Amino acid sequence: MPVVLRDAWATLVPDMDGPDGPLPPLLLALTVLTGLVDAFSYLLLGHVFVANMTGNVVFMGFALAGTPGFSVLASAVALASFVAGAWAGGIAVHRTAAGRGRRLRNALLVEAVCVAAALVVSFVSGSPYTGGARFSLIALLGLGLGVQNAAVRAMAVPDFTTTVLTRTLTGTVADSRLARGPGSRVGRRGLSPAAMLAGAVAGGTAVLGGPRELPLLAALVILSGVVAATVLLGRGDAPWTRPDTTT
């Protein structure tokens, strides 16, 4: 079997007794979620991201320069909400010595509440989202994705951040044999961009074809599935389920 396919298979169907257990495919599912919610926020909430904060900083610069279609306030709300979510997520994962699976589950339950609340707001307000409904959606989704990012960072699984792909893509190219590196591991690292692309395509298709709330509903389903997986797969004594005594 080619190395690329072998690495991809080992990532998608990991060794449950390995150091990361099922975390790689679970984090890939969360990467799909990122594509879904960012498609929803960018296309329906006025050129703003709720998961990728680098874009919001750039968008804020566009708005300050007077570029039509961008809002300083929208970008600022997204940034502030994301920071608040990251703070809450940090507390959720650092104030317990539980294994990574349990810590991820606890954080994602908080994120699920945020996404569920956003789904309710989207149904009640109806599109186009303006005024208070728009900013409520930005705040709730930013908060939830901040929690997710804090939790994923604490998982410390190499090559999987669920949001920022620049570093992953850089590592893939810079470590390649063509760059005289140790190996690109494209079979593993290439899955994250593919997952986010799939989520963005699905989210964009839903937004354009309706119902527009579908990306949020899909995100909630993904969160429910990941939480269920951490519960069902975390009942053994694999390394990823053991209490973290370093926290």
pLDDT tens string 151-182:
999 888 988 888 877 766 666 776 666 666 66
Measured in whole angstroms, the distance separating CA 118 from the mean position of its chain's CA atoms is: 16
Residue 189 sits in which domain range?
25-45+80-233
What is the number of structural domains in the chain?
1
Phi, psi at 41, each rounded to 5°: -70, -45
pLDDT band at 119 (very low <50, low <70, confident <90, very high): very high
Is the pLDDT at 220 greater than 90? The verdict is: yes
In a domain, 56, yes or no: no
Q: Cβ(115)–Cβ(140) under 8 Å? A: yes
In a domain, 61, yes or no: no
In whole angstroms, give the CA distance from residue 48 to residue 77. 10
Tens digit of pLDDT for each residue in 47-82?
Answer: 999 999 998 999 999 999 999 989 999 999 999 999
In whole angstroms, give the CA distance from residue 188 to residue 194. 11
pLDDT band at 1 (very low <50, low <70, confident <90, very high): low
In a domain, 74, yes or no: no
CATH number where 185 lies: 1.20.1250
In a domain, 87, yes or no: yes
Please state, for a pLDDT cut of 90, what percent of the chain lies above it. 55
CA-to-CA separations, 164 to 135, 167, 206, 217, 230, in angstroms, rounded:
24, 7, 23, 23, 23
In a domain, 195, yes or no: yes
Residue in 89, 90, 63, 67 with CA at minimum distance from that of residue 77: 63
In sequence order, which ranges of 65-99 are alpha helices (DSSP H)? 72-94
Phi, psi at 171, each rounded to 5°: -65, -40
Cβ burial of 188 (10 Å; 0-12, 13-18, 19+) is: buried
In a domain, 204, yes or no: yes
pLDDT band at 203 (very low <50, low <70, confident <90, very high): very high
Is the pLDDT at 86 greater than 80? The verdict is: yes
In a domain, 16, yes or no: no
At position 28, the amino acid (one-letter code) is L
In a domain, 67, yes or no: no
